[in-house]
C-alpha cells in the first residue's frame, strides 16, 4: 500500500550570520538560475503533496509557489520552525528540509518517503566528514516528522530548549544509517549545508565542476 500524502516544510528563517549573506537568495547555478530557496522548494514540491515555507519575512517572498508561514516561535531556531511547519501542514507527516542544502538527492529523498511510516522521526546519519547540527551525528533538517511530535516539541520550546534532537528520546526515532543511504548519495553530498564562507566556496567549486562536466 502506498504511503499517505505527505507535506514538505522548508525552513528558511536563518539569519545567515556566519555566512554573511542571505543564503536563501544565493544563485549558485548562474544569475538566471533559481535561488537556493527556490531550488529547494522545487525539489520538495516534486516529491510531496503540499509545500510550506517557514520564514520570518514572508512579505518579501510574494512569488514563492508555496504556502508561507511566519515562525510561531521567533528566535527559537530550527526547532521552532519545525513546530510551526507541523502545526500548519495538512498531512500527518512532513518532510523537513533546511533551505541551505545545494546538493539534495531526489533519489535519497524518494527512498526516505517510501519507507513505511512506523516512526515519529526518520533522520539520516551523516558521514563522519559532514558536520551535523547535533551530537548524535544525525541530520534533523533532512528528515521526516510526524505531527505526533507536536506536543513534545511544544513542551521543549516552552522549557527554553533549542537543541533540535532534545525531544528525540520521547518519540519513535528511526535512523537511516550511512550504509542505507550511500547507494542514493554516492558522493556523500546530500547533507552538505552552507553555513560558512568556506562551505559556500566549496559548493561553488563543486557546482562549477559539475556544470563543466555536463558541457563536455
Position 154 scores a pLDDT of: 97
For the record, the C-alpha cell of 147 comes out as 505531527
Least confident of 7-16, 21-30, 75-84, 86-95: 7-16
Contact 34, 99 (CB under 8 A): no
What is the spatial distance between Cα 101 and Cα 123, in angstroms, rounded to a whole number? 15
Residue 173 pLDDT exceeds 90: yes
Phi, psi angle pair for 123, to nearest 5°: -135, 140
What pLDDT does residue 214 have? 46
**Structure confidence by residue, pLDDT tens digits, 44-76:** 999 999 999 999 999 999 999 999 999 999 889
CA distance 191 to 27: 19
DSSP for 42-83? HHHHHHSSEEEEEES-GGG-TT-SSEEEE-SSTTSHHHHHHH
With 50 as the cut, is the pLDDT of residue 174 above it? yes
Q: In what order do the strands lie in the sheet with 121-124?
A: 67-70, 50-55, 7-11, 93-98, 142-146, 121-124, 173-176
In words, the CATH class of domain 7-215 is alpha beta
Length of the chain equals 216
- Compute the distance between CA of residue 210 and CA of residue 206 in angstroms, rounded to an integer: 6
Q: How confident is the model at residue 199 (pLDDT cuts 50, 70, 90)?
A: very high
The pLDDT of residue 128 = 61
Has residue 1 got a pLDDT over 50?
no
Name the E strands within the chain: 7-11, 50-55, 67-70, 93-98, 121-124, 142-146, 173-176
Task: Indicate whether 212 pLDDT > 70.
Answer: no
Q: Would you say residue 3 has pLDDT above 80?
A: no
Q: Kindly tell me if the per-residue pLDDT of 216 is higher than 50.
A: no
Q: Residues 86-141: pLDDT tens digits? A: 999 999 999 999 999 999 999 999 999 999 999 999 999 987 655 555 567 899 99
Amino acid at each position: 500500500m502506498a504511503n499517505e500524502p505527505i507535506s514538505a516544510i522548508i525552513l528558511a528563517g536563518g539569519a545567515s550570520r556566519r555566512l554573511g549573506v542571505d543564503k536563501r537568495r544565493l544563485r549558485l547555478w548562474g544569475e538566471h538560475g533559481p535561488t537556493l530557496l527556490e531550488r529547494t522548494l522545487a525539489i520538495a514540491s516534486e516529491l510531496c503533496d503540499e509545500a510550506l515555507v517557514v520564514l520570518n519575512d514572508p512579505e518579501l517572498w510574494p512569488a514563492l509557489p508555496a504556502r508561507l508561514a511566519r515562525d510561531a516561535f521567533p528566535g527559537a531556531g530550527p526547532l521552532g520552525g519545525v513546530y510551526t511547519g507541523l502545526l500548519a501542514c495538512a498531512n500527518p507527516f512532513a518532510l523537513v528540509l533546511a533551505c541551505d542544502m545545494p546538493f539534495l538527492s531526489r533519489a535519497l529523498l524518494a527512498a526516505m518517503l517510501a519507507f513505511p511510516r512506523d516512526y515519529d522521526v526518520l533522520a539520516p546519519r551523516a558521514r563522519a566528514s559532514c558536520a551535523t547540527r547535533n551530537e548524535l551525528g544525525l541530520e534533523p533538517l533532512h528528515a521526516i516528522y510526524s505531527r505526533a511530535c507536536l506536543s513534545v516539541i511544544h513542551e521543549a520550546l516552552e522549557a527554553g530548549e533549542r537543541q533540535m534532537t532534545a525531544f528525540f528520546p520521547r518519540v519513535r526515532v528511526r535512523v537511516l544509517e550511512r550504509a542505507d543511504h550511500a547507494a542514493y548519495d554516492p558522493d556523500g553530498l546530500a547533507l552538505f549545508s552552507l553555513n560558512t564562507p568556506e562551505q559556500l566556496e566549496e559548493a561553488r567549486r563543486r557546482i562549477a565542476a559539475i556544470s563543466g562536466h555536463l558541457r563536455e
